[in-house]
Amino acid sequence: MLGLGIIKGLVETGRNFVGSYFKPERLVTIQYPEKHLPPVEAARTIPFLVYDGKDSMKGLRCTACTICETECPPKCIYIVKDTVKKPDYLGKMQNQPKVFDIDISVCMGCGICVEVCPFESIKMDQVFELSGSDRFGAMLLHKAQLVKSNDYFGEICHEQATQINAARADDVRKAEAKAKADADAKAKAAAVAVSNAAAGVAAVAASSMTATPGTTQPDSKPAPKAASTSTPLPAPSKPTVPSATP
Ligand code: SF4
Ligand code: SF4
């Protein structure tokens, strides 16, 4: 029937209108700004930079790779790489941004920077009361204003943060296992080298002990002459001369 959908919609609106006087959950609006609705996990407004631990600068995940800067459609991210490196969560030295600015008056909240970041270091925030009277000062957020802890990220996006934390903990376990295996291999190689060196020294000592013709050992004594046991031969007898008898 023509217009049936419109009639159904109006009936539902009427039921909610009358019902909201008796059941508060039928209210579809709230008294803003006195009241705020809790945002859903997928809600997004502007990006922020995630850091681990307590120190926002030491724990900053961003490596200043500039992928997000390149991919941002309205080009509202500005990054300058620092010349000094710092250790990442695995202990490897990583680059860090000296400058990381986002012009939130230009940002359209698309979330592409989050999608392309290989280090889980930029995430979308859910704050929305960001109006200001200074177009060029207040709207350009610097690194210190953009950093937020991983705990905060866990509060606004619990599911995502849990998955990322598990993956990073797995990385840490793998890195520790590799470091232990490398240390064991080094210790084994050092032990083999020491044993080979000891065997070489023993071989040299043994060869020097071997008698060489014409050489005299320091503590060798001349062997005593053996006593002769041969019987002396008898003296040859004189030939007898016949006497001349007349
Ligand atoms: S959310 Fe989109 S517009 Fe905003 S900084 Fe990220 S990539 Fe750029
Ligand atoms: S936020 Fe991510 S993509 Fe952007 S520079 Fe930092 S590490 Fe690279």
pLDDT digits (tens, 9 = 90+) for 144-203: 999 999 999 999 999 999 999 999 999 999 999 999 999 999 999 999 999 898 888 888
Rg (CA), the chain: 47
Q: Give the domains, in start order, of the chain with CATH numbers.
A: 41-149 (3.30.70.3270)
Q: Which ligand is closest to the CA of 98, given by its number?
A: 2
Select the more confidently predicted residue: 245 or 181: 181
Residue nearest to atom 7 of ligand 2 (CA): 62
Q: Which ligand is nearest to the CA of 100?
A: 2
For residue 120, how far is its CA from the centre of ligand 2 (angstroms)?
8
Q: What are the residues whose beta carbons fall under 8 Å from the beta carbon of 217, sequence distance 6 or more?
A: 211
Q: Are 92 and 129 in contact (CB under 8 A)?
A: no
Confidence of residue 211 (pLDDT cuts 50, 70, 90): low
Length of the chain: 246
- Give Cα separations from 75 to 49, 104, 105, 123, 125 (angstroms): 17, 11, 12, 17, 19
User: 210: pLDDT confidence band, cut at 50, 70 and 90?
Assistant: low
pLDDT at 87 over 50: yes
Q: How confident is the model at residue 238 (pLDDT cuts 50, 70, 90)?
A: very low
Closest CA relative to residue 164, chosen from 101, 126, 118 = 118
Cα angle, residue 134 at apex, residues 127 and 47 outer, rounded to 5°: 30
State the Cα–Cα distance between residues 240 and 16, nearest whole angstrom.
172
Q: Which residue has the higher pLDDT, 77 or 38?
A: 77
Q: Is 77 in the pocket of ligand 2 (CB under 6 A)?
A: no
Find out whether the beta carbon of 112 lies less than 6 Å from any atom of ligand 2: no
Residue nearest to atom 2 of ligand 1 (CA): 110
pTM: 0.71
- Residue type for 134, please? D
Question: Which residues neighbour 80 within 8 Å (Cβ) at sequence distance 6 or greater?
Answer: 64, 97, 98, 99
Q: Which of 62, 69, 72, 106 to mutate to test the pocket of ligand 1 (most atoms within 8 A of CB)?
A: 72
Please answer whether residues 68 and 122 qualify as being in contact, where contact means their C-beta atoms are separated by less than 8 angstroms.
Answer: yes
Q: Name the DSSP letter for residue 26.
A: G
For 168, other C-beta atoms within 10 Å of its C-beta total 16
